[in-house]
Copies of this chain bind each other. A is one copy, B any other.
Amino acid sequence: MTLPHDSQAAQDKLAIPDIVIGRLPIYLRTLKLLLNSGQEVTSSQELGERLGISSAQIRKDLSHFGEFGKQGTGYNIAYLCKQLEKILKVDCVWPVILVGAGHLGHALALYEGFENRGFRIVGVFDSAPAKWGQEMGSLAVQSMDEVSTCVGQFHCQIAIMAVPAEAAQAVADSLVKIGIRSILCYAPITLSLPKHVRVEYIDPLIHFQHMTFYLDKGCIDE
C-alpha cells in the first residue's frame, strides 16, 4: 500500500510549512462567512484585504495544494471551501473530549459553534465528585475513570483541557497514555509531552501581555 505516489504525497505534506497550514482555517472561516452572505466568487485580493494578508501570500499558500482558482475570475467560494475542508480533514465531524467542568468547561460544553465546523464534544469529565452527573447541554459530567472508555468508544484523538494549571501536566500525561494525540490546552502552562502529541494553547493573559507592550502605560495603580 506504500506506492510511490503515497510516499510522494507524504513527503510533500511534510514539506508544507506549518505556518501555511495555520492560515488555512482562517481562510476557511472567512470564505464560509462570504458564502453565507450569498457571495459566489472571490479573489485573493478581496480575501487578503479582509484578513490583512497580501494576495500573493494567499495564492502561494493555496498553490501548495493545487490550483483552485480561475485566471481573470478568482475563486468559486463554495468549491474552495470544500477543498480546504478536505485538506484540513474537517469535511466530517471529529469527536472531542472535554476535561474540566468549571466555568470555562461549562461555556465550552454549551458552545454551539463546534458542530458546523467539524467537531463535537462527546464527553465531559471532571475530577470533582460534586460535578459528576451535572448536566451540560446534552451531556452529563463523568468521572475521570470514564475518560478511557469514552475515548475508546469514539476513537477520539482530540481533547480540550480546561483544568487548573496545577493539574494540567498530570491530566495531559493520562490523556496521552490512553491515546489522545492532540490537545487544546486552556491551562496557563506549557506542557511536557512526547513529540508525537500536538498541543495548542489558549491563554488570554498571553495576549494581554503582548498587547500592553505597545500601549502607553495606563494602569490602575502606577
Give residues in A with beta carbon < 8 Å to B.
21-22, 24-26, 28-30, 33, 50-52, 87-90, 92-96, 102-104, 106-108, 110-111, 113-114, 117-120, 122, 154-155, 157-158, 160, 165, 181-182, 184, 188-190, 192, 198, 200, 202-222
Contact = CB atoms under 8 A, between A and B. Distances in A.
Q: Interface majority SS on A: helix, strand, loop or mixed? A: mixed
Contact of A209 (B25, B198, B220): B25
23 contacts: A24-B209, A24-B213, A25-B206, A25-B209, A30-B190, A51-B190, A88-B210, A89-B213, A90-B208, A95-B219, A95-B220, A103-B107, A104-B107, A104-B111, A113-B205, A118-B205, A120-B220, A154-B220, A157-B218, A158-B211, A158-B212, A200-B207, A202-B207
Contacts of A22: 210
Contacts of A184: 204, 207-208, 211
Contacts of A210: 21-22, 24-25, 88, 200
A92 B118 CA distance: 41
Question: How many copies of the polypeptide does the oligomer hold?
Answer: 2
A190 B165 CA distance: 30
B155 A117 contact: no
A214 to B, nearest CB: 6
